[in-house]
């Protein structure tokens, strides 16, 4: 591990997270036989280092789809797994990528061969077992072949409430002309300080959209990146976040246009309560030669407490002339017209506020792929707002 000292810590502008000591973790070996969230869905649930739920249609297995824990993948498909891993998130980018690469001992491997369409929503559920003092270091690796398509719901949860840390790196390769809807709900608990890094390699004519619900309760830095590596590659990176109590969540959401006519849109919405901090950094980067590409971003933050702190920092880095780009950012208060409209129907101010806040994050909520996930998001918003009056 000596190498980590030479690498820099990743940069999360305006987020002070050094004290969280995310560069020092001891991976946990906690096991369990319980499955916590899945019961009928297509997909896999990993809890600690155990596989606690698994269901995949025989038809998909016959078509060559692989879905298993990384522990199993390293045994059964080690050559394939090792070849693909580290292609999107390089091991030696910074201290935290290096640490994850060398310490992960759990996670999920999903391989979808070319021309395979997965019709049902595929659930990838990752549960941290915070039942000992040890940390959670996990990797998710997803390969989606040419012309393949998949709709993923990836969730992150904490079971138990010991004070721990977590590092989760998710790599997605979206091959030519593939289509990937990557929906994620991050719901790590209050005592977990975490580093989450999701990155995608989006190749020619492929489309990968992120819908990331960042509803963690603890200290978290999140990096979300789409590399538009091929012509006509498209990615929409959508994030909604709520921070409450005294937590901090910091984001770097980034789209890099390498390919000609590639399209990258960032959309972030955050709600800040109590004494919490929420920082959105949006980065649109267009590389020289990416002619005809488009980089747009919009980040908006609702500040619902005088004691909270919020920031929305847009950054456009453009090295090519023949492009379109734009950004909008704001830190504001609740929409008074919407509030008035709802109250004019008799709803109390409290109920109306709740609905306006939900509406503020409605773009991403509407994209959640299942009824249960929509319901989860609605309820999570309400339960975080309960603390508002305190």
Partner 1 sequence: MTTLKIENLHVTVADKEILKGVNLIVKTGEIHAIMGPNGTGKSTLSQAIMGHPAYQVTQGSIYLDDKNLSEMSVDERARAGLFLAMQYPSEIQGVTNAEFMRAAINARRDEHNQIDIMTFIRKLDEKRAFLSMTEEMAERYLNEGFSGGEKKRNEILQMMMIEPKIAILDEIDSGLDIDALKVVSRGVNHMRSDDFGTLMITHYQRLLDYIVPDFVHVMMGGRIVKTGGAEMAKKLEDEGYAGLRDELGLDITLTDEDAD
Nearer to partner 1, 214 or 342 (CB): 342
- Beta-bridge mates of residue 310: 278
Nearer to partner 1, 134 or 357 (CB): 357
The distance of closest approach from Cβ of residue 183 to partner 1 in the complex, given in angstroms and rounded to an integer, is 15
Which one among 82, 349, 382, 387 touches partner 1, defined by CB under 8 A? 349
Which backbone phi and psi does 144 adopt, to 5 degrees? Answer: -120, 115
The span of 187-195, 209-217, 249-257, 363-371 binding partner 1 (CB under 8 A) equals 363-371
Residue 371 near partner 1 by CB under 8 A: no
Residue 383 near partner 1 by CB under 8 A: no
Which one among 103, 132, 147, 338 touches partner 1, defined by CB under 8 A? 338
Residue 343 near partner 1 by CB under 8 A: yes
The distance of closest approach from Cβ of residue 115 to partner 1 in the complex, given in angstroms and rounded to an integer, is 33
What span, in angstroms and rounded, lies between the C-alpha atoms of 39 and 154? 15
Residue with tokens 């910074």: 94
Residue 189 near partner 1 by CB under 8 A: no
Q: Is 368 helix (H, G, I), strand (E, B) or coil?
A: coil
Residue 366 near partner 1 by CB under 8 A: yes
Residue 213 near partner 1 by CB under 8 A: no
Residue 301 near partner 1 by CB under 8 A: no
What span, in angstroms and rounded, lies between the C-alpha atoms of 20 and 219? 8
Q: Is 284 helix (H, G, I), strand (E, B) or coil?
A: strand
The distance of closest approach from Cβ of residue 375 to partner 1 in the complex, given in angstroms and rounded to an integer, is 12
CB neighbour burial string for 161-190, b if at least 16 within 10 angstroms, e if fewer: ebebbbbbbbbbbbbbbbbbbbbbbbbbbb
Residue 334 near partner 1 by CB under 8 A: no
Q: What is the DSSP letter of 117?
A: B
CB 214 within 8 A of CB 251: yes
Spatial neighbors of 262 by CB under 8 A, at least 6 apart, are 202, 228, 230, 231, 232, 233, 234, 290, 293, 294
Residue 363 near partner 1 by CB under 8 A: yes
The span of 15-23, 128-136, 162-170, 354-362 binding partner 1 (CB under 8 A) equals 354-362
Within 10 Å of residue 230's Cβ, how many Cβ atoms?
A: 21
The span of 41-49, 142-150, 301-309, 353-361 binding partner 1 (CB under 8 A) equals 353-361
First to last CA, the chain: 44
Q: Is 29 helix (H, G, I), strand (E, B) or coil?
A: coil
Q: What is the DSSP letter of 5?
A: G
Nearer to partner 1, 22 or 352 (CB): 352
Residues near partner 1, by CB under 8 A = 335-338, 340-349, 351-352, 355-356, 358-359, 361-363, 365-366, 378
């Amino acid at each position: 591990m000596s190498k980590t000292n030479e690498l820099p810590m990743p940069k999360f502008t305006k987020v002070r997270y050094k004290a969280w000591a995310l560069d020092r973790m001891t991976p946990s070996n906690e096991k369990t036989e319980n499955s916590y969230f899945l019961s009928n869905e297509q997909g896999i649930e990993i809890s600690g280092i155990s596989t606690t739920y698994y269901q995949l249609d025989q038809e998909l297995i016959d078509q060559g789809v692989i879905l298993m824990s990384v522990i199993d993948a390293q045994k059964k498909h080690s050559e394939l797994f090792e070849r693909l891993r580290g292609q999107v998130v390089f091991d030696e980018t910074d201290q935290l990528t290096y640490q994850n690469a060398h310490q992960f001992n759990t996670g999920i491997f999903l391989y979808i061969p070319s021309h395979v369409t997965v019709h049902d929503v595929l659930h990838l559920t990752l549960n941290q077992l915070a039942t000992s003092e040890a940390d959670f270091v996990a990797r998710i690796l997803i390969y989606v072949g040419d012309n393949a398509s998949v709709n993923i719901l990836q969730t992150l949860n904490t079971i138990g409430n010991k004070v721990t840390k977590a590092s989760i790196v998710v790599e997605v390769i979206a091959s030519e002309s593939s289509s990937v809807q990557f929906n994620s709900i991050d719901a790590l608990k209050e005592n977990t300080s975490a580093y989450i890094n999701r990155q995608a390699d989006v190749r020619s004519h492929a489309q990968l959209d992120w819908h990331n619900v960042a509803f963690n309760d603890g200290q978290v830095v999140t990096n979300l990146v789409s590399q538009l590596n091929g012509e006509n590659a498209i990615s929409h990176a959508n994030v909604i976040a709520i921070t409450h109590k005294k937590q901090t969540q910091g984001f770097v959401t980034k789209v890099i246009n390498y390919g000609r006519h590639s399209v990258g849109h960032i959309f972030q919405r955050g709600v800040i309560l109590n004494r919490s901090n929420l920082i959105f950094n949006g980065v649109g980067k267009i590389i020289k030669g990416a002619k005809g590409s488009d980089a747009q971003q919009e980040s908006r933050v609702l500040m619902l407490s005088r004691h909270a702190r919020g920031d929305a920092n847009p950054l456009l880095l453009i090295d090519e002339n023949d492009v379109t780009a734009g950004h909008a950012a704001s830190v504001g208060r609740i929409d008074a017209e919407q509030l008035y409209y709802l109250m004019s129907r008799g709803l109390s101010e409290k109920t109306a506020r709740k609905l306006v806040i939900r509406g503020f994050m409605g773009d991403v909520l509407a994209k959640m792929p299942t009824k249960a996930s929509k319901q989860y998001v609605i309820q999570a918003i309400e339960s975080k707002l309960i603390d508002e009056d305190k």
